[in-house]
Amino acid sequence: MIYFFKILISLIIPFNTIAQTTPGIDLSHHIKNIPWEKVKVAPPLFLIHKATEGSSHTDSKYFERKEIAQNYKIPFGAYHFFSYKSSGNSQAKHYIKTAQLSSGNVIPIVDLEFVKQMPTKQQVVTNVKEFIFEIEKQYKVKPIIYCEYDFYNQYLKDDFSDLNYWIADYNKTPDCNYVIWQYSKTGKIYGLNGMDLNRLNPNTQINQIILP
Predicted confidence (pLDDT) per residue in 81-121, tens digit: 999 999 999 999 999 999 999 999 999 999 999 999 999 99
Judge contact between 15 and 200, C-beta under 8 A: no
Secondary structure of 52-113 in HEC code, one letter for each residue: EECCCEECCCHHHHHHHHHHCCCCEEEEEECCCCCCHHHHHHHHHHHHCCCCCCECCEEECC
Whether the pTM exceeds 0.85: the reply is: yes
Judge contact between 195 and 208, C-beta under 8 A: no
